[in-house]
Structure 1
Amino acid sequence: MTSHCGLVDTFGRRISYLRLSVTDRCDLRCVYCMAEDTAFVPRAELLSLEELDRLASAFVSLGVTKLRLTGGEPLVRRGVMDLVAGLSRHLRDGALRELTLTTNGTQLARHADALTRAGVRRVNVSLDTLDPARYRVLTRGGQLGTVMDGLRAALEAGLRVKLNAVALRGTTGEEIHDLIAFAHGRGMDLTLIETMPLGDVGVDRTDQYLPLDQLRREIETRWTLADTVERTGGPARYVRVAETGGRIGFITPLSHSFCENCNRVRVSATGVLYTCLGQEDRVDLRAPLRGSEGDAALHAAIAAGLAAKPRGHDFHIGPGGRPAVARAMSALGG
């Protein structure tokens, strides 16, 4: 629903953060994100760049102040930098406080300078390992060096970088100390994320799942952690590391719910509004977007979606590692 203070759901939570997927395609096939033979949405069903701009701008006009572009991998979408440049007008007029994106880093070396010119101030980069061989396995063929080049380019362009690492049994525990040293040694935050049971990725998720309280205990064998009340607009809970001064974020969709303060909604690249990552509730925004030149019908559809936003997700990993939700992570960018 809409009110004098923007978008507010039926539980009184103000929605100020939109995660907008610009494509479900990706140039990697990460084992926790998608199946190796994932079938992507036909391009004809994707919103055009102009439609994505209009949709995002409608949310901004309704009170969204933080906009994150996601994928798949957003930087593989042809013309995406034109979209970023266009949306930056909302930064200049003060309607948006932040325009940012989440990326796997493979295309970052090419686009870092243009992102900075468009007013993007920080980016999230997914990086689960510092070992090239393990990276190839986890991403099913990716080259770690390409991401390292992207990170260097981003930092040189003046972007603040937060690394996102999905906590994986048998991987993250072995590398966590190196990941912390790598990130904080370059002025980057590190956020750790429990694997989310979204979509059939062809593996048993119970083999992947590593609870973050268990990983935190491993971190504390070497580092001194102090809990903080800092927030960046998302679900992460942060700690400061005394030895580095840097931050580590913990996102715990399975072991500890973060729904009570949820301030975000997601829209797929086909124009479907999802008010909760862990539920199947959805509202089609493409039809009202294409059905009229004005935005009244679009605003009404957004309000209907907010009225149905659930109190929280119900993430769990089912028997045999079955996902809680059939929709793949790559469809919405997490």
Structure 2
Amino acid sequence: MLQDNFGRRFHYLRLSITEACNFKCQYCLPDGYHGPSDDTFLTLPEIDTLVQAFAGLGTSKIRITGGEPSLRRDFTDVIALCKNTNGINKVATTTHGGRLARDAQKWRDAGLDQVNVSIDSLDPRQFADIAGQNKLTQVLDGVSAAIDTGMTVKVNSVYLKHFAGKQLQQFKDWLKDTPITLRFIELMETGDHPEFFAQQHLSGGPLKQQLLNEGWMPVLRSKDAGPAQEFHHPDYAGRIGLIMPYSKDFCASCNRLRVAANGKLHLCLFSEHGIDIRPYLQQGDVQALMAHLQQLLTQKHATHYLQDGNTGATSHLAMLGG
């Protein structure tokens, strides 16, 4: 079992398979993607070694991220590889949803259990302004297609000051009849966008209190759950989740590690640097990698230090898929 010096156990791996994305979200890649090409990222055999090692150490859930993971031509093969690895019980992905309407059933057939779709507004103009793509209808069609396949569907919305008022009520109206979990994510400061953070950051604390006052009730967390505090309401088909990385004790329940598309292990989304484990992946040495991972966990810190204004080496979120 992967366990750090603070007694936290890590059942959940967030695996980035590309940094590339063809959206231009204001808080991530406002000028578009200009990084390395896909041929520099982890190969399928390297991913196989990685997943086997993590599964052998108790990891039961893998989230495939990017960038936009569906831009990789072998994305479906990555899903199937993860799902067919002994010990992996749940495979999820995070996507902007641009290809979801077309490919949801194909991904489901390959073994995908859950999809998280990024939708920062239900107003078409606001969506286009934030995402840099006028594709809200296409993305919403993808959400419906994913629901129809039987996958668990979650929607991620970055909680921005400029859009919070009107969008909140639109989202709540949508949840009346839509069986998804909508997660509002506090904007996190990254190295490339300090000014945007200062202009747009909004704490989720008051929103949490508002939900409780309206009769929303907390949902118990599972061992492989992500960082969201989730709430349900008897009058709504959907749930609401809050991800508040600046809240007290946010890191106490950390259960996830990250591997970037370049083969670096990140003990935290905002670590100072990634730890290169690619030589083990290139050698296909599962046992040696398992031993190395156990040793590296002793280096994990108690907190991300975001509250102190430290953004580490994360210049933009597409580097690690959030």
CA contact (8 A) 1:20 1:269 kept: yes
CA contact (8 A) 1:112 1:153 kept: yes
Aligned residue-pair number: 321
Do the aligned partners of residues 54 and 43 (structure 1) sit closer, same or farther apart at CA in structure 2, a change above 3 Å counting? Answer: same
* 1:294-334 residue CA offsets vs partner (Å, 9 max, x unmatched): 3233223322321211111111485xxx9565431001111
2:94 corresponds to? 102
Aligned-partner Cα distance in 2 for 1:324–1:61: 30
1:299 corresponds to? 290
The 5 A counterparts of 1:185-200 are 185-200=177-192
| 1:312 corresponds to which of 282, 286, 303 | 303
Does 1:76 find its partner at 2:67? no
Provide the secondary structure at the position in 1 that maps to 2:252.
helix
Counterpart residue type for residue 33 of structure 1: C
Does 1:329 find its partner at 2:317? yes
Counterpart residue type for residue 183 of structure 1: L
Does 1:89 find its partner at 2:84? yes
Provide the secondary structure at the position in 2 that maps to 1:193.
strand
Aligned-partner Cα distance in 1 for 2:196–2:42: 33
Counterpart residue type for residue 302 of structure 2: R
Shift of 1:149: 1.7
The 5 A counterparts of 1:207-218 are 207-217=199-209
Moved more, 191-200 or 223-232: 223-232
Counterpart residue type for residue 194 of structure 1: E
Shift of 1:218: 5.2
Aligned-partner Cα distance in 1 for 2:308–2:5: 28
CA contact (8 A) 2:12 2:62 kept: yes
* 1:111-154 residue CA offsets vs partner (Å, 9 max, x unmatched): 21122212322211111100111111101234111101211211
What is the aligned-residue RMSD (CA, Å)?
A: 2.1
Aligned-partner Cα distance in 2 for 1:125–1:9: 31
- The runs of 5 or more residues in structure 2 that have no matched partner are none
CA contact (8 A) 1:35 1:202 kept: no
Aligned-partner Cα distance in 2 for 1:327–1:57: 30
Provide the secondary structure at the position in 2 that maps to 1:84.
helix
Counterpart residue type for residue 41 of structure 2: L
Aligned-partner Cα distance in 1 for 2:284–2:147: 41
1:57 corresponds to? 52
* 1:80-100 residue CA offsets vs partner (Å, 9 max, x unmatched): 10111222212xx5x112111
Provide the secondary structure at the position in 1 that maps to 2:46.
helix
Do the aligned partners of residues 233 and 326 (structure 1) sit closer, same or farther apart at CA in structure 2, a change above 3 Å counting? Answer: closer
TM-score (norm 1): 0.89
Does 1:160 find its partner at 2:152? yes
CA contact (8 A) 2:22 2:32 kept: no
2:225 corresponds to? 233
1:3 corresponds to? none
Aligned-partner Cα distance in 2 for 1:203–1:111: 37
Shift of 1:59: 0.8
Aligned-partner Cα distance in 1 for 2:162–2:37: 36
CA contact (8 A) 2:273 2:313 kept: no
CA contact (8 A) 1:205 1:317 kept: no
Counterpart residue type for residue 54 of structure 1: T
1:18 corresponds to? 13
Counterpart residue type for residue 74 of structure 2: G
Shift of 1:168: 0.3
CA contact (8 A) 1:190 1:249 kept: yes
CA contact (8 A) 1:160 1:188 kept: yes
Aligned-partner Cα distance in 2 for 1:153–1:271: 32
Provide the secondary structure at the position in 2 that maps to 1:279.
coil
Shift of 1:17: 0.5
Counterpart residue type for residue 258 of structure 1: F
Provide the secondary structure at the position in 1 that maps to 2:217.
strand
* 1:154-204 residue CA offsets vs partner (Å, 9 max, x unmatched): 112221211111100020222112112213411111111101112314842
Provide the secondary structure at the position in 1 that maps to 2:122.
coil
Provide the secondary structure at the position in 1 that maps to 2:2.
strand
TM-score (norm 2): 0.92
* 1:227-269 residue CA offsets vs partner (Å, 9 max, x unmatched): 3333461111122224215321111002334211111100000
Aligned-partner Cα distance in 1 for 2:219–2:280: 43
Moved more, 34-43 or 269-278: 34-43
What is the aligned-residue identity percentage?
35
Provide the secondary structure at the position in 2 that maps to 1:205.
helix
Counterpart residue type for residue 203 of structure 2: P
Do the aligned partners of residues 40 and 317 (structure 1) sit closer, same or farther apart at CA in structure 2, a change above 3 Å counting? Answer: farther
Shift of 1:224: 2.3
Aligned-partner Cα distance in 2 for 1:170–1:215: 15
CA contact (8 A) 1:17 1:67 kept: yes
